[in-house]
Amino acid sequence: MKKILLGTTAMMTAGLVATGAQAAEWEVGLSGYYTGMAVFADEDPTPNPDIEDVQFKQEGELAIDPSIMLDNGLKIGASFNLELTNNDGTKNGGNTFDETFLYVEGSFGRVELGENGSAPFQMHISAPYFVGSHGVDSPNFQHARRIGAARTSSYITISGDTAKLTYFSPNFSGFQLGVSYTPERLNGDVGGQATGSKGAAFGLIQSAVDHFEDTIEIGATYAGEFEGVSVGVSGGYATADVTDGSGAGLDDPEAWSAGLSLGAAGFTLAGGYYSSDDLIGFAAANTDNEEKAYSVGLQYETGPWRVGVAYFNAERDFSGVAGSVNAEFEVVELGVNKNLGSGVDVFAVVELYEDDANGSAAGQERETDAFGIGLDLAF
């Protein structure tokens, strides 16, 4: 997104207090996106109450990024990301800051401190996003009312956006490493999921006194080109300690991720994979939980046009005192996007959802078909 540099007068008007010399050294980048759309959706079987056949949705974010280059070559900066809307179907969110962190960059790499996604989360490769604010893997928009407990993401989300320390190495011949440390992970917002709930898809222990601590997350990427084909590879691993307040017998969670991207002649084929063990524990007897998810997509871009098709699948197997659950969530997406110039895109998208939640107590299955058209602004 294009950066807009604010001058001294604009910064003073915004309330920043600094001397003339200090203000001249700082640059403040302002960027963001905003998507508005109309959605036509149908559920089968028809639930009671039914969803609205026609819905208007919107979603956006504004990023404020001050930075300064010191005489010793270090770049110091921060990022404040303001959520402009809440897309979970309620009026309880929006107008709140999401990721907020500071960073230091130099020849040694980059260090981040604050509320942001972990190293493997930021470095992960998944299916391409070819229409505004959509995608099958961790989308901003999702048009199905989900009933199951399967994930909506192939990204590692153990620590979410909880405050952490993250280090990214310099790029060595296309290779880069990253590591994050989160001292204590409490219930709260988690990046990379499409719902507003704090439920099983987010990989959290649900008891008010239970949480993760000493979470370690490691990511790695490679980017290169071979005979005209661009190649991207990513991998991630995460683990955490379950605190003493948790139910007896709970194991420490682990998660893995991987991604691959190939591009040539306007085509991009990419996908991501996720697997985890022991991320959920509602009680001492609820100790068996496994999750898997993957996404794959093909995108073609020529001139102002971008078209694509993508698929996402997630499964969760869980057993405990409440019975056993085998949940599966699938998404097929087809979309077309046209750039009208200067960060203005118009798009159309078809989303086909299938959500199964078959447990020992009862089984459920729902299919949702949705068609949407909208305008996407990036600035």
Domains belonging to the chain, first-starting first, are 38-58+115-378 (2.40.160)
| 120 close to 219: Cβ distance less than 8 angstroms | yes
The reported pLDDT for the residue numbered 98 is 77
Q: Report which of residues 250 and 240 the model is more confident about.
A: 240
How far is CA 175 from its chain centroid?
Answer: 22
Q: Is the dihedral of CA 277, 278, 282, 283 positive or negative?
A: positive
- Residue 176: CA atoms inside 13 Å, Cβ hemisphere, count? 22
In this model, does residue 3 exceed pLDDT 70? no
Structure tokens at 319: 């057993």
Q: How confident is the model at residue 49 (pLDDT cuts 50, 70, 90)?
A: low
In this model, does residue 7 exceed pLDDT 60? no
Structure tokens at 70: 């010191």
In this model, does residue 46 exceed pLDDT 90? no
In this model, does residue 14 exceed pLDDT 90? no
The reported pLDDT for the residue numbered 196 is 33
What tens digit of pLDDT does each residue of 246-302 get?
455 567 889 999 999 999 999 999 999 999 987 764 344 455 678 899 999 999 999
Could you give the percent of the chain with pLDDT greater than 90? 54
In this model, does residue 190 exceed pLDDT 60? no
* Distance between CA atoms of residues 73 and 300, nearest Å: 40
The reported pLDDT for the residue numbered 211 is 64
* Distance between CA atoms of residues 341 and 345, nearest Å: 7
| 158 close to 253: Cβ distance less than 8 angstroms | yes
* Distance between CA atoms of residues 188 and 197, nearest Å: 9
The dihedral formed by the CA atoms of 344, 161, 288 and 123, expressed in degrees to the nearest 10: 60
* Distance between CA atoms of residues 155 and 237, nearest Å: 10
Structure tokens at 345: 């895109």
- Residue 337: CA atoms inside 13 Å, Cβ hemisphere, count? 27
The reported pLDDT for the residue numbered 357 is 76
What tens digit of pLDDT does each residue of 74-114 get?
999 999 998 887 544 444 444 577 789 999 999 999 999 99
The reported pLDDT for the residue numbered 48 is 59
Q: Is the dihedral of CA 16, 18, 22, 24 positive or negative?
A: positive
| 59 close to 133: Cβ distance less than 8 angstroms | yes
In this model, does residue 352 exceed pLDDT 50? yes
In this model, does residue 4 exceed pLDDT 90? no
Q: Residue range 362-371: average pLDDT?
A: 81
What tens digit of pLDDT does each residue of 200-222 get?
333 433 444 456 789 999 999 99
> What is the pairing mode between strands 267-277 and 288-302?
antiparallel
Q: How confident is the model at residue 359 (pLDDT cuts 50, 70, 90)?
A: low
* Distance between CA atoms of residues 154 and 140, nearest Å: 14
* Distance between CA atoms of residues 26 and 70, nearest Å: 10
Q: Report which of residues 313 and 204 the model is more confident about.
A: 313
Residue reference for tokens 């005979």: 227
In this model, does residue 31 exceed pLDDT 90? yes
The reported pLDDT for the residue numbered 20 is 42
The reported pLDDT for the residue numbered 65 is 97
* Distance between CA atoms of residues 236 and 218, nearest Å: 6
* Distance between CA atoms of residues 233 and 259, nearest Å: 6
Task: Label residues 97-131 b or e (16+ Cβ within 10 Å = b).
Answer: eebbbebebeeeebebebbbbbbbbbbbbbbbbbb
The reported pLDDT for the residue numbered 62 is 94
Q: Is the dihedral of CA 225, 230, 231, 232 positive or negative?
A: positive
* Distance between CA atoms of residues 118 and 190, nearest Å: 11
The reported pLDDT for the residue numbered 193 is 38
| Measured CA angle at 218 (ends 170, 127), to 5 deg | 90
In this model, does residue 164 exceed pLDDT 90? yes
The reported pLDDT for the residue numbered 208 is 42
Residue reference for tokens 């190649």: 231
In this model, does residue 152 exceed pLDDT 50? yes
Q: How confident is the model at residue 322 (pLDDT cuts 50, 70, 90)?
A: low
